[in-house]
Amino acid sequence: MTYTPIFLPAAGHRNVSSLEFVGSGYYWSSSLYTDLLYCAWSLNFNSGNVNPDSRDGRSGGLSVRPVRCR
Which of the four pLDDT bands, split at 50, 70 and 90, describes residue 67?
Answer: low
Q: Domain for residue 5, yes or no?
A: no
Each residue of 8-22: pLDDT tens digit? Answer: 889 898 888 888 899
Q: Domain for residue 33, yes or no?
A: yes
What is the residue type of 15?
N
Q: What is the pLDDT, as a whole number, of residue 69?
A: 62
Q: Domain for residue 69, yes or no?
A: no
What is the domain count for the chain? 1
pLDDT (average), residues 48-62:
87
Q: Domain for residue 26, yes or no?
A: yes
Computed over every residue of the chain, the mean pLDDT equals 85
Q: Domain for residue 46, yes or no?
A: yes
Task: Write out the residue range of the structural domain in which residue 17 sits.
Answer: 13-57
Is a pLDDT exceeding 90 seen at residue 24? yes
Q: Considering Cα of 13, then 52, then 64, then 35, what sign does the dihedral take?
A: negative
d(CA 31, CA 29): 6
Q: Domain for residue 39, yes or no?
A: yes
Q: Domain for residue 7, yes or no?
A: no
Q: Domain for residue 70, yes or no?
A: no
Q: What is the pLDDT, as a whole number, of residue 44?
A: 92
